[in-house]
Structure 1
């Protein structure tokens, strides 16, 4: 406990870190306040209490903004969808491939295109959202209401984008992921209380078992997030003036889940699209009605099969674009390093790619299983709000963002010669001998 108190004091002793923490809390507070501002022309007392199925998952990611019909009803999700499209374009279109290789200037242009593409996406998704609002909650249904609501929701999403970028620049952690995580965390206390009340005194043992299972699942997610395969790297002897440096053996850490939370976010942002489209056209087609029914129920095998498949595909996809074996091999060759038993250059690149492919498969499968675990928890008798935290998007995003934020805080502490968040001065999974991995 003394160690924890000392660490907190050290954190707030650093002026820059203290300012960034307060900035982050300020921007988060603005986002949470906006989640409760109801759209003009909507009677909040007549809104449905909560959402089910895929809309319930979306509502959890948005911290209740979806079911509240707030100005942040779609939150940051259209921006995530635009990011998916741009990531695909960087593979298929030579122009975007060139931009990706231009470094910082190219990334800025890609980010600008992502922002522009977000506008038509949020306009399209806002039409589907309006269709999900129960008719008696709309005070005066009209064309003007539809158009004005589309504009307000679009402005709300753009404002959420701005908040995310401000958190990244002026605060702690990745702003976009932080906004999603805060929406999730805001639902956790109510979910725990609701589960405890549902079980009552007679079900206290069951509730305790559920808490233990949740703890084990969290530990599993942390292990998956931190697991690495270390590739040994040998550096030849170097002579500097009259000093001869002995050969050094270091490691390149290849993460088992190099894609992090992005495959879950990408897959989830696509999973609610069929349900929204089906809700608009289900009156005209039995097929649309069937799709809407199955993809609105995240316990259905159809939903979980597609969801798991998308996660595996996106894990490979995002790993391929975030980890470049060719660049790692070139950097090693230029610095005089080599993998023992492997020729520098092309052979090293192929070796890295082979190892990355092998470790990504179990990582992708584990990620998919964790993502669909809430469906099994719900079928086992856990209440719907609490089951969302037994894995899936909610838990993986929470763990990933928290670990990333802790890494950033620890970096500030170590730069100021303070102890890190752990007694060893570093988070488990990191090594002072690890070589920075190029991406």
Structure 2
């Protein structure tokens, strides 16, 4: 009996056996998991399947059976990854799991998703010569539409910061731009996986706060980072603990190296103007850390990133900011004699920007060294689009760090992380 005389169902069962039983059994000792798919096998799987796939050239029924198998999602071929139920086919989480992304990336965990049309994910990259056996983890940022303003800004920012002379402390994308995947119908940008964020580290520490030595290191690193980013004509507008990462474990970067990520709110510096744009811009960024100008829709410049950095340093040291609402505090009950309108007016919280303006440096940097007060004074004295003296700002923090570092063991973020877990 030949393939041509067998019923199609019988041929499909043989194809299933070749793809699943034989392939996984063959690789049991070398690769216990596969992240690829029947439609997009990894290099290791393709080498094993090559003799069987060559039959497609001489047997039409075999070719039909293989096509049918590849077009059907085979969960028994995939390794088991994050369990998640995404009932809506339009949702970004559903889309990135429909197929292998860009023919080499398998999404396995959601980091963050927003409104169902954009998300950030961990994925396995099995596109190397060793295939799934040595799949490495990467970060995938995906958008439903390429016209999404965050997609456009992110791609433009990495294009500006990368190239032949990449900006230190900014990840370099695995691919040059956001690429469209026709099977998942998303636009994806692939970035290297870095270490934990400062928010992850903060959550691991006692009292959820960093000590002075750590905060000074953050200040030195981020002033240097923003000096390089601003020199390339870009404003980050994304300061928050979750957007600052440790260098990857085992990398050649110095132990105190920090990376700035997430440029979805970034904007270009207008180097030809010393005045803000006459047009109001959309207020973007994290309200806790964004500058006062950003609250009012005023175009951003170097001073805005540094103002946000000052808020970040205060937050990391104190674990809260003066404009944070007291946790767990509920509104007081309204007396019967008080009208609903009066009660609403009394219970309404003041605008965050009003509290920011009214908060003096003595409150913002209470119990912190004078170098933080001096940094705040210099930042507030900057004119719009004025180039700060980054070297002077860094040196002030470096001098303080040297003074308290004397006689202590060398500082390293990963050492602190391992001691905290």
Larger Rg: 2
Indicate the TM-score class for this superposition, using the shorter chain for normalisation.
under 0.3
Q: Which has the higher helix share?
A: 1
Per the normalisation by structure 1, the TM-score is: 0.24
Higher relative contact order, structure no. (Cα contacts within 8 Å, ≥ 6 residues apart): 1
Q: Which has the higher strand share?
A: 2
Per the normalisation by structure 2, the TM-score is: 0.25
